[in-house]
């Protein structure tokens, strides 16, 4: 029996018991009152009320237990600096995540990005976060971008699972160099470390774990994303992760040379 079926059956049973109790109480009360047995009628009414209270308490007990579990879950998330969890296969959840990220970009004092190609943030044609990012770059806000080396071992594995070969078509080195030359506070480098997508500012962080799971012909992109509070230990851990990857990263020019010119 599924978790949804159990409560339904429980509530049905409880409702039937309430109907039976009401019917029996009404019959017995009528019987006693018809024979002028008032004390017995009062006693019956009291017993019926007590039994009804017991059934009601029993009926709401699962709801109270569920509410307690939700409260405990919320407290644990809050205690560990998790502001929200977004489910990217849900349209509304994805929209909420994107809107929150756009607000965070608009309010940022600095920005960091670790991503496969970064198109959602640094490509005008993608039209997701570029408008807000461009506005910040125009104000000389620092933006460090780490992209995945197109020929690192992990990227090759991901390409095979996505049935693709060669350099990702969404990765255009000439466009990247034009952006870097245009915006002095924009730095773009490459890393071999593929674990997640990470975007954060001075007061916001969104973390998308990578996986190798397929539900169709390609890796499933619609997974989940976790928003961390900037004062949490998780924020500090992932910032340290970015800093390490940045310290071992390579420039656009170095990667071009390794690829034999792109």
Asked if residue 69 and residue 91 are part of one domain, the reply reads no
pLDDT of residue 142: 98
Give residue 13's pLDDT. 72
pLDDT tens, residue by residue, 117-147: 999 999 988 889 999 999 999 999 999 999 9
Q: Which of 5-14, 146-155, 177-186 has the highest mean pLDDT?
A: 177-186
Highest mean pLDDT among 32-46, 145-159, 236-250: 236-250
Co-location of 126 and 46 in the same domain:
no
Q: Is the pLDDT of residue 232 over 80?
A: yes
| pLDDT recorded at residue 261 | 64
Largest CA distance in the chain: 105
Tell whether 141 and 189 lie within a shared domain. yes
pLDDT at 2: 46
Helix axes 38-79, 5-34, angle to 10 degrees: 160
- Mean pLDDT of all residues in 211-239: 91
**Can you give the residue range of the structural domain that contains 173?**
83-258
Q: What are phi and psi of 50, to 5 degrees?
A: -60, -45
106 near 203, Cβ under 8 Å?
A: no
Mean pLDDT, the chain, integer: 86
Higher pLDDT: 181 or 63? It is 181
Q: What are the tens digits of pLDDT across the range 33-87? A: 677 777 777 777 788 777 777 767 776 666 667 777 888 888 888 989 999 999 9
Q: Is residue 16 scored above 70 in pLDDT?
A: yes
Which residue, of 57, 78, 99, is where some domain finishes? 78
Report, as an integer, the average pLDDT of 191-207: 94
Considering the domain architecture, whether residues 146 and 164 belong to the same structural domain is answered as: yes
Look at residue 188 in the predicted model and tell me its pLDDT: 98
Number of folded domains that form the chain: 2
In terms of C-beta density within 10 A (0-12 exposed, 13-18 middle, 19 or more buried), how is residue 23 classed? exposed
Residues 91 and 41 in one domain: no
pLDDT at residue 59, rounded to an integer: 67
Judge if 57 and 91 occupy the same domain.
no
């Amino acid at each position: 029996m599924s978790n949804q079926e159990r409560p339904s059956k429980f509530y049905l049973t409880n409702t039937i018991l309430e109907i039976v109790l009401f019917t029996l109480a009404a019959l017995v009360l009528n019987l006693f009152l018809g024979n002028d047995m008032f004390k017995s009628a009062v006693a019956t009414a009291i017993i019926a009320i007590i039994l009804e209270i017991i059934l009601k308490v029993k009926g709401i007990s699962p709801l109270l237990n569920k509410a307690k579990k939700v409260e405990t879950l919320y407290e644990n998330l809050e205690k560990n600096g998790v502001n929200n969890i977004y489910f990217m296969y849900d349209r509304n959840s994805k929209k909420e995540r994107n809107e929150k990220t756009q607000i965070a970009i608009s309010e940022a004092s600095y920005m960091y990005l670790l991503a496969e190609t970064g198109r959602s943030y640094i490509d005008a044609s993608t039209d997701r976060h570029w408008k807000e990012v461009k506005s910040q770059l125009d104000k000389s806000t620092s933006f460090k971008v780490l992209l995945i080396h197109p020929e690192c071992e992990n990227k090759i594995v991901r390409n095979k699972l996505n049935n693709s070969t060669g350099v990702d078509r969404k990765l255009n080195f000439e466009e990247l160099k034009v952006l870097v030359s245009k915006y002095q506070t924009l730095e773009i480098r490459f890393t071999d470390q593929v674990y997640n997508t990470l975007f954060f500012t001075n007061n916001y962080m969104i973390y998308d774990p990578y996986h190798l799971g397929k539900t169709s012909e390609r890796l499933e992109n619609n997974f989940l994303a976790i928003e961390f509070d900037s004062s949490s230990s998780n924020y500090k851990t992932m910032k340290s992760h970015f800093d390490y990857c940045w310290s071992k990263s390579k420039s656009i020019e170095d990667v071009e040379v390794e690829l034999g010119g792109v």
